[in-house]
Amino acid sequence: MPPDAASFYLLLDPLCPPAGDGATRRVPMDALEVPEGVSFLTLDTGGRPTLDEDAPGKGAFAIEPVMDGAAPRLLLVGPGAVVNGQPAPRLALLDVRDQVALDACPYLLHVTRLHPPSVGPVPPALVGRKCPICRAPFQAGDSVYTCWACGTSVHHSSPASEGGAEEGGGCFESLKACPACGHELIVDEGFTYVPEA
């Protein structure tokens, strides 16, 4: 996974929400952070999903963030899961917006990622490297947008662009998606996907 990339989370959506003020969903939903490396998805005694790094007994699903080309995904290993309403194979690659149901689990699990803020000063390791959009080198003092999904950086603004020069300017404004992985551009910190109520 790229450094400072977004972390995967599973949002726990109760299949039978508690009775209350008419709301169909609790906001915000409970969330499980998926750790780096292999962890195991099990149900506690109350039927709530949990993630544990120790190998549990029968019926657990192994889950691990992996790279699928340039895109991070979640690898889910185990029999009997339903993904997006369809029976899943024993090994399934999950992406943001996928929904997972497990036998005897009173929750629907929504795959999402928590991405860090994406605009900031150019990291020292990028100084001198070329922006993939304008091909001008990143300079100390530039502001860059860094993709939450793959870690690719482009100029957000630079001292040169603020003074009227074209080179090394706001390449971010010309984009509709990340030039490397195609994911949507998200600037503020938060979950990439939250299901609608």
Distance CA 4, CA 95 (A): 18
* pLDDT reported for residue 20: 56
Residue 160 in 3-state DSSP? helix
| 42, 52 contact by CB (below 8 A) | yes
* Residues 167-190, mean pLDDT to the nearest whole number: 82
- Please report, for residues 95, 167, 171, 186, the alpha-carbon distance to residue 176 in angstroms, rounded to integers and kept in the order given: 20, 20, 11, 11
Helix H or strand E encompassing 159 = helix 159-162
**4 pLDDT exceeds 50?**
no
Distance CA 95, CA 99 (A): 9
pLDDT band at 158 (very low <50, low <70, confident <90, very high): low
Closest CA to 142 of 163, 156, 124, 125: 156
* Residues 36-52, mean pLDDT to the nearest whole number: 89
Q: Model confidence over 55-93: pLDDT tens digits?
A: 776 778 999 999 887 678 999 999 889 999 999 999 999
For the chain, give every domain's residue range.
7-115, 119-174
Q: Model confidence over 90-141: pLDDT tens digits?
A: 999 999 999 999 887 889 999 999 887 789 999 899 999 999 999 999 999 8
Q: Pull the structure tokens for residue 28.
A: 């915000």
The CATH classification number of 7-115 equals 2.60.200.20
Distance CA 171, CA 64 (A): 34
